[in-house]
Amino acid sequence: MRFRINLFGSFFTGLTLFATLIIFAILFVIIGNVVLHGHKIISWEFITQAPREGMTAGGIFPAIFGTVALVILMIIAVLPVGVMTAIYLHEYAKPESVLTRTIRFAVNNLAGVPSIVFGLFGLGFFIQFIGAGMDKFFGLEVVWGQPCLLWAALTLALLNLPVVVVAAEESLRAVPKETREASLALGATKWQTIRRIILPQALPGVLTGAILSISRGAGEVAPIMFTGAAYFLPYLPHKPTDQFMELGYHVYVMATQSPDVEATKPILYGTVLVLLILTLLLNFIAIFIRSKVRRQMRQTI
């Protein structure tokens, strides 16, 4: 009887291990496949040249450039707002007040809104309401009221707000209460304490949030499809009202709308590999910093 129970138990324990191994295998197969087919084409030319001959030759420089420009604009918009929201929630707000709960409710739900809905919102609000409104106000032809880099970046910024808020708040929580109290007891004001004492200590966590949101922003396609991304442009974007090429969008269009799949396949795999390296590298860095912060936190408590 006892033996049977143990057999039964080790069977289930084995099943849970098996599930873990399958998840490892999924990750391994996906990354392995992309690396296997993609590494051959990666070269200096591939990263620094524009596509030629209907995407069957040349490189993907404009898509890399567009992605970088997009995430830079996005992070400029989302980082201050996200960090200040976290500061408000953790340092100023009363924990159970209606306002605090409403803010938390909003942040949580923003994290759950489907990315395609952000795309719809970007189109309806930024382009057709703000953009077209600005054009009308300034008496311009269509300048702001069209898909462009700025609106795509702002749409992504809203999408990533929860990522920054959650990471920043976690790092604020990691700062020991005693540090805070010591600073206040020495006569520093609340803002002085936050700026000189708390924020420097919380910096790694804030950085984690920023990196994670950059990684996520670089990989999201649905929100930028209608707010600024273009399949092919002969020039690089040089002002916020230009359209842009983007790695993820490039992958999507090449994979689904290419007239000759076999001819574009090497470039497609190369593009996926570049996108994957970019996002996973950022993720690695974020995970590394975070685990360091958490270890520190455990030591302080």
Site for other proteins in 127-146 (CB under 8 A): 128-129
Task: Give the residue, chosen from 42, 50, 81, 263, that forms a contact with other proteins under the rule CB under 8 A.
Answer: 81
The answer to the question of residue 84 lying near other proteins (CB under 8 A) is yes
C-alpha Rg value of the chain to the nearest Å:
24
What would the DSSP string read from start to end of 33-61? Answer: HHHHHHTTT-SHHHHHS-EETTTTEE--H
Helix (H, G, I), strand (E, B) or coil at 233: coil
Q: Give the number of residues written for the chain.
A: 301
CA–CA distance, 19 with 28 (Å, rounded to integer): 14
Closer by beta carbon to other proteins, 256 or else 299: 256
Task: Give the residue, chosen from 41, 168, 268, 293, that forms a contact with other proteins under the rule CB under 8 A.
Answer: 268
Closer by beta carbon to other proteins, 283 or else 296: 283
Closer by beta carbon to other proteins, 93 or else 203: 93
Q: Which two tokens stand for residue 151?
A: 């609106």
Q: Name the nearest CA neighbour of 238 among 22, 73, 49.
A: 73
Closer by beta carbon to other proteins, 65 or else 88: 88
Size of the site for other proteins (CB under 8 A): 86
Binding span for other proteins by CB under 8 A among 16-24, 59-67, 166-174, 201-209: 16-24
Residues 205-244 that bind other proteins (CB under 8 A): 215, 218-222, 225-226
Strand partners, 52: 57
Taking residue 17's Cβ as centre, other Cβ atoms within 10 Å add up to 10
Residues 40-79 that bind other proteins (CB under 8 A): none
Helix (H, G, I), strand (E, B) or coil at 140: coil
Closer by beta carbon to other proteins, 68 or else 81: 81
| Whether the Cβ atoms of residue 254 and residue 271 lie closer than 8 Å to each other | yes
Distant-in-sequence, close-in-space partners of 43: CB < 8 Å, separation ≥ 6: none
Residues 90-129 that bind other proteins (CB under 8 A): 92-93, 102-103, 105-121, 123-125, 128-129
Closest separation in Å from C-beta 11 to other proteins: 9
Binding mask 21-40 for other proteins (x = CB under 8 A): -xxx-xx--x--xx------
Residues 273-292 that bind other proteins (CB under 8 A): 275-276, 279-280, 282-284, 287, 291
CA–CA distance, 242 with 225 (Å, rounded to integer): 14
Binding span for other proteins by CB under 8 A among 13-21, 49-57, 67-75, 176-184: 13-21
Q: Which two tokens stand for residue 38?
A: 């993609």
